[in-house]
């Protein structure tokens, strides 16, 4: 299987860390889901999705371990994954684990997949941040859990923001921009761009700013991959495809 598998170069120094942001290349889905759709919740044939997940796992080198996903609901609930033999962690938009051979998977098509690692403690976390999750501060909340519940110092956390819709394509109306500015103030203002009387949001840069404010050193916040809406051959995009499309997966976990 030929994958579009993006990795964080700086994380090559952790040989036991398995992670990646996958695009839509590879996989057997057809039509609007063409390629590597890994979501059972978008109307694709479940048998094909299952085959895609299976093939993809082997292609990235996960054999016995599970990729654990969530029923993502654009909220800010974060679950701690302690059981490695589950397939789904329930209704949530973020997961944290210190278990080995448990790979946390986030499904997206424009929203920001954020992968976290605390290399010293060998903890991994994965978050789904659309505008609602960003408004709720799910990225900062994850940092808070790593600090308080796992005792990780903020300078011991590294984060990577994966392929997501960019300010080039993500036009938003007041119903989105206003609450973001009310909540995040200047951080949101900087992430909003005005062009031809329209407003565009850079979700990744807003999440980066939120992570910086939460205390992660800026050089430890990486960004990987293009705008999902621009890169039609490589990524699913909810906005570009007008809702009917597949989901790509981003995953992270420590090998046993
Ligand atoms: Zn774009």
Quote the ligand 1 centre to 229 CA distance (angstroms). 5
Residue 218 lies in a domain: no
- Residue 194: beta bridge partners? 199
| Cα 177 to middle of ligand 1, angstroms | 18
Task: Give residue 161 CA to ligand 1 midpoint distance, Å.
Answer: 16
**Encoding tokens for residue 69?**
């996903």
226: left (phi over 0), alpha (psi -120 to 50) or beta: beta
pLDDT tens, position by position, 156-174: 999 999 999 999 999 999 9
- The answer to the question of residue 172 being in a domain is no
CB 42 within 8 A of CB 55: no
CATH code of the domain containing 12: 3.60.140.10
Residue 242 is predicted with a pLDDT of: 86
How many domains does the structure of the chain reveal? 1
Look over the chain and give the mean of its residue pLDDT values, rounded to a whole number. 97
> Which pLDDT band holds residue 243 (cuts at 50, 70, 90)?
confident
237 CA distance to ligand 1 middle (Å)? 10
In percent, the amount of the chain with pLDDT more than 90 equals: 96
- Tell me the angle at which helices 138-148 and 203-213 cross, rounded to the nearest 10 degrees: 30
Residue 34 in any domain: the answer is yes
Domain assignment present for 41? yes
Measure 193 CA to ligand 1 centroid, in angstroms.
13
185 falls within a domain: no
What is the Å distance from ligand 1's center to 58 Cα? 31
β-pairing, 112-118 with 158-161? Answer: antiparallel
pLDDT (0 to 100) of residue 1: 79
Residue ranges making up the domain that contains 66? 5-165+225-254
Residue 46 is assigned to a structural domain of this protein: yes
Q: How far apart are CA 175 and CA 167, in angstroms?
A: 17
Instruction: Tell me the pLDDT band of 91, cut-offs 50, 70 and 90.
Output: very high
In a domain, 174, yes or no: no
In tens, the pLDDT along 65-84 reads: 999 999 999 999 999 999 99
Q: 110: CA distance to ligand 1 center in Å?
A: 10
Rg (CA), the chain: 17
CA 153 to ligand 1 centroid distance, Å: 35
């Amino acid at each position: 299987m030929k994958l579009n598998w993006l990795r964080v170069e700086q994380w090559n120094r952790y040989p036991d860390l398995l992670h990646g942001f996958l695009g839509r290349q590879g996989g057997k889905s057809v039509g609007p889901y063409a390629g590597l759709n890994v979501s059972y919740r978008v109307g694709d044939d479940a048998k094909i999705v299952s085959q895609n997940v299976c093939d993809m796992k082997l292609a990235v080198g996960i054999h016995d371990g599970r990729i654990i996903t969530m029923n993502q609901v654009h909220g800010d609930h974060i679950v701690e994954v302690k059981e490695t033999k589950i397939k789904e962690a329930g209704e949530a938009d973020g997961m944290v684990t210190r278990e080995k051979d448990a790979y946390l998977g986030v499904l997206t098509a424009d929203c920001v997949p954020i992968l976290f690692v605390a290399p010293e403690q060998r903890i991994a976390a994965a978050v789904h941040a659309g505008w609602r999750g960003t408004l709720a501060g799910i990225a900062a909340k994850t940092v808070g859990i790593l600090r308080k519940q796992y005792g990780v110092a903020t300078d011991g956390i590294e984060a990577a923001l994966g392929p997501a819709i960019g300010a080039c394509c993500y036009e938003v109306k007041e119903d989105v921009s206003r609450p973001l500015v009310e909540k995040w103030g200047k951080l949101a203002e900087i992430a909003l761009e005005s062009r031809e009387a329209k407003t565009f949001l850079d979700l990744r840069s807003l999440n980066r700013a939120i992570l910086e404010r939460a205390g992660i050193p800026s050089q430890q916040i990486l960004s990987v991959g293009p705008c999902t809406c621009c890169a039609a051959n490589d990524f699913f995009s909810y906005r570009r495809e007008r809702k009917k499309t597949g989901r790509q997966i981003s995953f992270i976990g420590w090998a046993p």
